Amino acid sequence: MPTSTLDTAEPSTGPTSEGGPSSDGDATTADASTDPLATSTAADTDDPTGPGDDSSSGGGSSLDPPAGGSSGGSGGGAVNGEVRMTPTGVTYRVIAPGGGGPLPAMIVYSGTEGGATMTSNLGMVAGFTGNDGTVFAVLDGVDYYGDGMAGADVLDQIRAEYDIDNDRTYLLSESAGTSAGLELGLGLRQSYFAAYWANDVNASLSPQLDAAALGFAPFGNAGPGGDFADADVIVAGMEAAGYRTPEPSPYDGPGAGDHGSTDQFLAALQWFPGRTRQ
């Protein structure tokens, strides 16, 4: 597996402004009191594929998991931030609707704001960003720093507990969760994710497989949060592997230069709806 280029600083465990609108502010971050409904200036998402070739080779039943299908899981129930644990001991938080599927799903690695704050932020803005009805599974990016396998275990569990759409499974990593997200989304479970946005990055990694080997072309992007060098490397690697990277990629809108920006966080969430492996 390719190795990531990590920053040398250990993730902070103190109060932080990372991860969206309910976080504490600091000098490099959007005001924590900002109303996301008023401040978001993310690009219109009516056309989720953006410019260029928006087609995918599909892959059909040869994909893992198969295209056009779902996990068939059940029993998870409607929850709003409940803490759960995998059989391997990984703790995570879940936001999930009631009713049947197939449902879109998003694995999320938080930044140093922590899993609880990230889950709260997602609950606040899911509807506004077009993600109503999505099953969110949130890992603490500090607790699982660099641990992509933890995310793979959580993905397996939510697929067992909910009927997850094989073609609408997404990944979002935030700051301290960057290296784990890259390992999971570009290596360990690359074929599972229709789209991956690495936000407030502090590391870089290129995809293990290209689109031809995967059998479809995933979507990819990075929100720099001030680290433009790593964001450029991530997107360049995705493009070289045949990913679909609609502009702006890397993201260069409001908040791109500020670590922990609410605007960039909302832009990331607004980018996912409608994206599929097909």
The pLDDT score that the predictor gives to residue 98 is 80
Alpha carbon of 75 to those of 115, 160, 237: distances in Å?
23, 8, 39
Q: What is the mean pLDDT of the chain?
A: 84
Q: What are residue 239's phi and psi, to 5 degrees?
A: -65, -40
DSSP class per residue in 81-94: EEEEE-TTS-EEEE
d(CA 68, CA 154): 22
What would the pLDDT profile of 107-164 be if each residue is shown by its tens digit? 999 999 999 999 999 999 999 999 999 999 999 999 999 999 999 999 999 999 999 9
Domain of residue 91 covers 69-271
**Residue 151 in domain:** yes
Kindly state whether residue 194 falls inside one of the protein's structural domains.
Answer: yes
Q: Which residues contact 271 (CB under 8 A, 6 or more apart)?
A: 42, 43, 45, 48, 195, 197, 221
Tell me how far apart the alpha carbons of residues 25 and 271 are, in angstroms, rounded to a whole number: 24
Examine residue 11 and state whether it is found in any structural domain, yes or no: no
CA-wise closest residue to 272 among 104, 141, 156: 104
Domain count, the chain: 1
Report the DSSP pairing between strands 135-139 and 91-96: antiparallel
CATH number at residue 88: 3.40.50.1820
pLDDT in tens, 31-68: 333 333 332 333 333 333 443 344 444 555 579 999 99
22's tokens = 């309910």
Give the model's confidence band at 13: pLDDT under 50 very low, under 70 low, under 90 confident, else very high: very low
30 occurs within a structural domain: no
